[in-house]
Amino acid sequence: DIVMTQSPDSLAVSLGERATINCKSSQSVLYSSNNKNYLAWYQQKPGQPPKLLIYWASTRESGVPDRFSGSGSGTDFTLTISSLQPEDFATYYCQQSYSTPRTFGQGTKVEIK
Amino acid sequence: QVQLVQSGAEVKKPGASVKVSCKASGYTFTSYDINWVRQATGQGLEWMGWMNPNSGNTGYAQKFQGRVTMTRNTSISTAYMELSSLRSEDTAVYYCARASVNLGYWGQGTLVTVSS
């Protein structure tokens, strides 16, 4: 199984500041035939299902604000929120869809500083 | 619009089984896999398995092999996840999600509580 490890586990950020979350996979999730990384980012707020933010490591889902960006390739990935808004305080998960089981990272909770 | 509507909360005794449904609308049910993901209270997301509604083919995470069964009824665009031999550690919210390269649409979640 591919193990997904996020860092940090939690992050305290002030409104308007940048937040950076890292995700590392135990093996590459880059599919060589199409040069795409099978890595997605989700946001989850209490009492709600997760919401897709980013797929293929860097493609924003329709309707997701452009302050959210994803980067990285192979085994190392980053989700950046450029200027935190009140609605961004939530838990964020990475997930690989390169192979089954489609494993998630343990989550990173973004809290108000 | 795409919607996945799950069945209501369940309370089960240890050793029992639970069957959660996930009714899809707003798209062709047989065109996308359905994945099931669970989340214990205060914990992270745990992927359980997938089902192809067209073929009925399934794949389960090793942890759930032998205890989970994913099925579908295409006539009513509904997917099912049945988990047997329940134990207290299975208490969680269970989600279905429409799968392509990502999980773009999720059900609202079904709380399953296992308690004697």
Residue A44 makes CB contacts below 8 A (sequence gap 6+) with A50, A51, A90, A91, A92, A93, A107, B45
Which amino acid is present at A63? G
Query: Which residues in chain B are closer than 8 Å to A53, comparing Cβ atoms?
Result: none
Mean of pLDDT values over A33-61: 97
> Which two structure tokens, joined as six digits, stand for B115?
């308690």
Mean of pLDDT values over B69-87: 98
* Cβ <8 Å between A107 and B101: no
Answer whether A38 touches B (CB < 8 Å). yes
Cis peptide before A8 (omega within 30 of 0): yes
Q: Which of A49, A104, A105 sits opposite B108 (nearest CB)?
A: A49
- The confidence score (pLDDT) of residue A37 equals 98
Contact A40, A23 (CB under 8 A): no
A14 phi and psi angles, rounded to 5 deg? -85, 155
- The confidence score (pLDDT) of residue B92 equals 98
- The confidence score (pLDDT) of residue A5 equals 98
Assess whether pLDDT exceeds 90 at residue B32.
Answer: yes
Reduced to 3 states, what is the DSSP secondary structure of residue B29? helix
- The confidence score (pLDDT) of residue A28 equals 98
* Cβ <8 Å between A49 and B109: yes
- Tell me the shortest Cα–Cα distance from A84 to chain B, in angstroms: 23
A41 phi and psi angles, rounded to 5 deg? -120, 140
Answer whether A59 touches B (CB < 8 Å). no
Mean of pLDDT values over B101-108: 94
pLDDT > 70: percent of chain A = 100
B88 phi and psi angles, rounded to 5 deg? -60, -30
Answer whether B2 touches A (CB < 8 Å). no
Query: Which residues in chain B are closer than 8 Å to A56, comparing Cβ atoms?
Result: 101
Pick the closest to residue A64 from A48, A40, A46, A47 (CA basis): A40
- The confidence score (pLDDT) of residue B42 equals 94
- The confidence score (pLDDT) of residue B12 equals 98
B101 confidence band (pLDDT: 50, 70, 90): confident
Mean of pLDDT values over B33-50: 98
* Cβ <8 Å between A106 and B109: no
Answer whether B53 touches A (CB < 8 Å). no
Mean of pLDDT values over A80-99: 96
Mean of pLDDT values over B70-76: 98
Query: Which residues in chain A are closer than 8 Å to B101, comparing Cβ atoms?
Result: 36, 38, 40, 55-56, 97
Mean of pLDDT values over B78-96: 98
Mean pLDDT, all residues of chain B: 97
Q: How far apart are CA A93 and CA A43, in angstroms?
A: 7
* Cβ <8 Å between B46 and A97: no
Mean pLDDT, all residues of chain A: 97
Long-range Cβ pairs for the range B48-56 (8 Å, 24+): B48/B81, B48/B94, B49/A101, B50/A100, B50/A102, B50/B99, B51/B79, B53/B29, B53/B79, B54/B30
Pick the closest to residue B58 from B45, B46, B72 (CA basis): B72
- The confidence score (pLDDT) of residue A42 equals 98
Answer whether A41 touches B (CB < 8 Å). no
Q: What is the DSSP string of B75-108?
A: GGTEEEEEE-S--GGG-EEEEEEEESSSEEEE--
Assess whether pLDDT exceeds 90 at residue A105.
Answer: yes
